[in-house]
């Protein structure tokens, strides 16, 4: 493992991004993410990929400055106009974030992939890691979950237009205002919900913070139809892998259905922030989040106390 006094966040705690201190009042945040398309529309795929990549900067409490594109493109089988639309969507979200596109790299590949590397800054005292949760904290989730399941239904041509639109509008919604509200009110810890699902990223937070955690399944906001598609078995492989990975660290109440566990484990793209905040400040943060249009932000659980063996209790 890398050790350096200026390396404030490295790989040890499975956090969202690396953080390197430049000066006492300035640290650099770096992150990288890319993946295959999850929607058919190239412009919106570009938007989703950019919002997803920017999210790791926001999850660390930072401000994005510059972006670089990473492109794998099958130039023999796809028209160049598709790539143009993807990059246009990405650029729109980079600009919306107040950041600049400064470069990138593309290779010829059989499968299309797009993503970005983002560089941001943060004051070293304002860094939000996943290791900061404290016993007694409330856990706030800022966006509904279920994108992996709906994307799977979409691929199986079983998704309703309403579910597809709900999923896309969720994925292109930036975590910027949530992060700003979190910094205004002051939170203890944060991470964003992506590939390891709500349970996987919660477990990372519990482990890094050396705490236990209680989640209330019925409080977790879910994108319309995701529960129905989970019941139909439209669950991506990554979601089952997440469930198996978390299995030994979970204490699941018998009142929580298997479908609900699928949803809670569902691999997300461009998910919301999971924020750990002192109990007496959580209602103030919720109010701020709702004022900023994040109407589905809600308290989904709490940090249940120190635990030698990190675990999550899932209650109905």
Contacts with Co ion, residue ranges (CB under 5 A): 16, 33, 56, 105, 192
Q: In terms of CB distance, is 95 or 105 closer to Co ion?
A: 105
Beta partners for 305? 212
Q: In terms of CB distance, is 15 or 234 closer to Co ion?
A: 15
Q: In terms of CB distance, is 191 or 304 closer to Co ion?
A: 191
Closest approach of Cβ 194 to Co ion, in Å? 5
Q: DSSP alpha helices (H): ranges in the chain?
A: 42-59, 80-96, 147-155, 161-171, 176-185, 197-209, 226-231, 237-246, 258-265, 279-291
CA distances to 43, 117, 304 from 299, rounded to whole Å, are 33, 31, 14
Closest approach of Cβ 105 to Co ion, in Å? 4
- HSE-CB at 4 with a 13 A cutoff on CA atoms is 12
Alpha-carbon span 261 to 316, nearest angstrom? 11
Closest approach of Cβ 253 to Co ion, in Å? 28
Q: In terms of CB distance, is 56 or 302 closer to Co ion?
A: 56
Alpha-carbon span 165 to 162, nearest angstrom? 5
Closest approach of Cβ 24 to Co ion, in Å? 26
Closest approach of Cβ 70 to Co ion, in Å? 10
Q: In terms of CB distance, is 147 or 304 closer to Co ion?
A: 147
Q: In terms of CB distance, is 159 or 273 closer to Co ion?
A: 273
Smallest CA-to-CA distance from 187 within 176, 179, 199 is with 179
Closest approach of Cβ 28 to Co ion, in Å? 16
Closest approach of Cβ 195 to Co ion, in Å? 8
Q: How far is CA 75 from the centre of its chain?
A: 30
Q: In terms of CB distance, is 137 or 192 closer to Co ion?
A: 192
The residue with its CB nearest to Co ion is: 16
Angle, CA 70 vertex, CA 266 and CA 245 arms, to 5°: 25
Burial class (CB in 10 A: 0-12, 13-18, 19+), 309: exposed
φ, ψ dihedrals at 113, nearest 5°: -145, 145
């Amino acid at each position: 493992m890398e050790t350096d006094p200026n390396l404030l966040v490295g790989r040890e705690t499975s956090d969202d991004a690396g953080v390197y201190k430049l000066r006492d009042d300035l640290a650099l945040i770096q992150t990288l993410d890319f993946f295959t398309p999850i929607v058919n529309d190239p412009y919106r795929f570009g938007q989703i990929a950019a919002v997803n990549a920017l999210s790791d900067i926001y999850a660390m409490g930072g401000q994005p400055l510059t972006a670089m594109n990473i492109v794998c493109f099958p130039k023999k089988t796809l028209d160049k106009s598709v790539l143009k639309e993807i990059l246009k969507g990405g650029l729109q979200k980079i600009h919306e974030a107040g950041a600049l596109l400064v470069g990138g790299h593309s290779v010829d590949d059989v499968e299309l992939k797009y993503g970005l590397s983002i560089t941001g800054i943060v004051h070293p005292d304002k860094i939000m890691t996943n290791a900061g949760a404290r016993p007694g904290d409330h856990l706030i989730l800022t966006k509904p979950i279920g994108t992996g399941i709906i994307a799977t239904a979409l691929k199986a041509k079983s998704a309703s237009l309403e579910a597809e639109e709900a999923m896309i509008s969720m994925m292109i919604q930036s975590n910027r205002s949530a992060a700003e509200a979190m910094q205004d009110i002051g939170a203890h810890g944060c991470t964003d919900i992506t590939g390891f699902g709500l349970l996987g990223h919660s477990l990372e937070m519990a482990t890094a913070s050396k705490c236990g955690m209680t989640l209330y399944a019925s409080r977790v906001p879910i994108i319309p139809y995701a529960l129905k598609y989970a019941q139909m078995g439209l669950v991506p492989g990554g979601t089952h892998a997440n469930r198996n990975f978390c299995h030994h660290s979970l204490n699941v109440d018998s009142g929580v259905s298997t479908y609900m566990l699928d949803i809670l484990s569902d691999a997300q793209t461009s998910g919301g922030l999971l924020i750990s905040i002192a109990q007496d400040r959580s209602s103030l943060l919720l109010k701020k989040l709702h004022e900023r249009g994040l109407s589905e932000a809600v308290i989904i659980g709490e940090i249940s106390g120190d635990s030698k063996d990190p675990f999550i209790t899932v209650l109905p």
